[in-house]
Structure 1
Amino acid sequence: MKTKAVRLYGESDLRLEEFELPAIKETEILAKIVSDSICMSSYKAATQGTKHKRIPNNVADEPIIIGHEFCGEIVEVGAKWADKFKAGDKFSIQPALVDENGPVGVLSAPGYSYNYIGGDAQYVIIPEEVMTNDCLLAYNGDAFYLGSLAEPMSCIVGGYHANYHTTPGSYVHKMEIVEGGSCAILAGVGPMGLGAIDYAIHADRKPSLVVVTDIDTARLERAASIFTVEEAKANGVELIYVNTAEEGKGPEYLKSLTPGGKGFDDVFVYAPVAPVVEQADAILGFDGCLNFFAGPTNPEFAAKFNFYNVHYAATHVVGTSGGNTDDMRESLAMMEAGKLNPSVMITHVGGLDAVIETTLNLPKIPGGKKLVYTGISMPLTALEELKDKDDDLSKGLAEIVERHNGLWSPEAEKYLLANAPAI
């Protein structure tokens, strides 16, 4: 079977090519990819080439398919898996292949390491180790793009599960955020921060107070229009948005929002900026946990941390950079139940022919997640710019997006797949 895919040959050397897939083995599965959301990790892999720890050294001769946040349908199942999967099943994949002994190996991630599987392709061959490590996950939702967003959403979910708290006199830590406690999400109105707000409001285990900060009024107002104070209250959460660039809205003010002004139990940092990290440290309460979620690109990144409070107030820090398979399952289940809507992350859509330019220029493109549909041809287009275009496809999409409060939706996906030109 022929497939079109974006393949990596070296540093910033991405090529959209058509090539023949080999026949699947009895241990493999043939699948059709429908959607892939482009991650900053793909930018790092594409620009670093073999310097990236997950990119094989022989990509110049054996190129890999990029993209790891993807969703699609199974086409053909090898005999070994015929009792568990069938043609037509929708799926998502946990790309970080980990078994009980740790990572499968350097060649352990679809979208980084394999010749025949990655999200930016029309058809792929899912290798045996994906199924062996239980990383091929059933998805029963209405829209493929939600399955693509299960991976970034799982990173957010993993952050909430990774936080921990202590008990005086015991060396056993209590995992998870404090239920009914105070939670702050700093620099929290970017795409991943919005997902963190969504989860905080709608998860079974939730705080009673969530304070979301940023320094951009327009972005804060947009977040407040998506996740309203009223909706949060209906779910038992007091939600407060704060512009910390305004005078008098620093750490002391933020702490004053917590019960008794004692500070926050859980603080998430969604931007790798030293003043934000230091602000997070300053608003921690006793036994407060700081989750440094946003990964810096600078290996020398550092910020001040109050070690007096570490010693006397039991404050502590964790860092999370991804979710595990259980986190993905939780994300998928919550989306299928309508409890999570990661549509808020998406700001741009495009086709397979938009992948190369988008991936190599990702840090320069403003907004949130860039979503691509691998079977169509379409330049990367911001959702807010659809209304300014003259073609019928854009006009139709613009009307749908407007009806959904400016967000991408299952309705928009169906319209796009039915009307966009095939690549």
Structure 2
Amino acid sequence: MKTRAVRLYGKKDLRLEEFELPEINDDEILVQVISDSICMSSYKAAILGPDHKRVPNDVADKPIIIGHEMAGNIVKVGSKWQHQFKEGEKFAMQPALNYKGSMDSPGYSYQYCGGAATYTIMPQEVMELGCLLKYDGEAYYEASLAEPMSCIIGAYHANYHTSMGSYEHKMGIVEGGKLAILAGAGPMGLGAIDYALNGDIRPGLIVVTDIDEGRLTRASAIFSVSEAKEKGIDLIYVNTKDMSDPVKYLRGLTDGKGFDDVYVYAPIKAVVEQGDKILGRDGCLNFFAGPTDINFSAECNFYNVHYGSTHIVGTTGGNTSDMIESLRLTEQGRINPAVMVTHVGGLDSAAEATLRLPDEPAGKKLIYTGIDMELTAIADFADKGKFNPYFAKLAEITNRNKGLWNAEAEKYLLQNWGK
């Protein structure tokens, strides 16, 4: 079977090509990829090429398919897995395999397994580790976004707290406690707000900071203060850009006691230090944002570590359990991963979009692999709709949904684009 895919040959060398897939072995599964969202990790792999720890040294001769936030349909099942998977079922995938100590991962390491493709082959280790997940939701994009959402969920589970006189760590955020999400109006921050409002353990106070008023306005339109109040949560948005003393202001929102849980969503020294300074007793600071500088550091108040039992954790990625939780909450309609998406495009736009990811930060770029479509901001649908009726219809659909991508928009795109 032929597939069309974006393959990595070396540093900054991504190529959209059509080629023949081999017949699957008895322990493999052939899938059709419908959607794949672009991750900053794919950009890092594309920039570093074989210098990346997950990319093979012989990638120039045996190129790999990029993309790991994929969803689609199962097409053909090898005999080993026919008791577990059926043709026609929808799937999502957890790419963090860690198989027998190997760093090999779909989207980084395999010739025939990656999300930026029309068809791809799941190697047996994906199924052996339980990383090929059945998905019963309506929209494919939600399953694609389950992977980045699982990273957010994993961070919530990684925080921990103690009681005075006890050495036992209680995992997770403080239920009914005070939560701050710093630099939190970007795409992943929006996912963090969504989970804090609708997850199984909820705080009593959520403070979201940013220095971009436009991002804060969009966040407050998606997650309104009044809707949060109906859930018993005080939600406060704060622009710290021009504040002379943001630490004093933020601590004031907790009556001076400080926050139980603080998440830092930007690898900026001042933001990390701000997070440390607003921690309350037994407060947990989670450094979520991954820096590219291997020497990145920030000051920490060790007086508070000693006498206030403050502590720091860091998370990168989620595990299979986190992804299953993401899919469950999405299928139940409790969270909406679409809050992370700002751009939509076809497979022909994936290579350039990946290489330019830091230059166009915005939010998540969602790729539909079966179509050709220039990467387009959802906010620009209406303008493009003046010359293209398909964009006009997509603008109408998204405008009815707070400007967010949604199942109706996906269905319309898949049924009508280019026809």
Contact 1:190 1:368 in 2 (8 A): yes
Q: Give the SS at the match of 1:86.
A: coil
Equivalent position of 1:7 in the other structure? 7
- Letter paired with 2:167: Y
Alignment of 1:104-119 (within 5 A): 104-107=101-104, 109-119=105-115
Q: Output the TM-score relative to the length of structure 2.
A: 0.98
Equivalent position of 2:287 in the other structure? 292
Q: Which of 299, 308, 318 is the equivalent residue of 1:304?
A: 299
Alignment of 1:6-405 (within 5 A): 6-98=6-98, 104-107=101-104, 109-247=105-243, 250-258=246-254, 260-389=255-384, 390-405=387-402
Give the C-alpha shift of residue 171 in structure 1. Answer: 2.3
Contact 1:98 1:133 in 2 (8 A): no
Q: Could you tell which deviates more after superposition, 298-307 or 288-297? A: 298-307
CA deviation vs aligned residue, 1:327-355 (integer Å, no higher than 9, x gap): 00000000000000011100000000001
Give the C-alpha shift of residue 98 in structure 1. Answer: 3.5
Q: Give the SS at the match of 1:30.
A: strand
Contact 2:3 2:19 in 1 (8 A): yes
Give the C-alpha shift of residue 89 in structure 1. Answer: 0.6
Measure, in 2, the Cα distance between the counterparts of 1:310 and 1:249. 22
Contact 1:187 1:213 in 2 (8 A): yes
Instruction: Provide the aligned length of Structure 1 versus Structure 2.
Output: 417
Contact 2:97 2:103 in 1 (8 A): no
Contact 2:345 2:374 in 1 (8 A): yes
Give the C-alpha shift of residue 169 in structure 1. Answer: 2.6
Q: Could you tell which deviates more after superposition, 159-168 or 275-284? A: 159-168
Q: Give the SS at the match of 2:284.
A: strand
Measure, in 1, the Cα distance between the counterparts of 2:292 and 2:46. 15
Q: Output the TM-score relative to the length of structure 1.
A: 0.97
Give the C-alpha shift of residue 176 in structure 1. Answer: 0.6
| Pairwise CA RMSD | 1.1
Q: Could you tell which deviates more after superposition, 265-274 or 393-402? A: 393-402
Identity %: 64
5+ residue gaps, structure 1, are none
Contact 2:381 2:395 in 1 (8 A): yes
Give the C-alpha shift of residue 295 in structure 1. Answer: 0.4
Give the C-alpha shift of residue 362 in structure 1. Answer: 0.6
Give the C-alpha shift of residue 104 in structure 1. Answer: 4.1
Q: Give the SS at the match of 2:197.
A: helix
Contact 1:243 1:249 in 2 (8 A): no
Contact 2:290 2:316 in 1 (8 A): yes
Give the C-alpha shift of residue 387 in structure 1. Answer: 1.0
Measure, in 1, the Cα distance between the counterparts of 2:220 and 2:370. 35
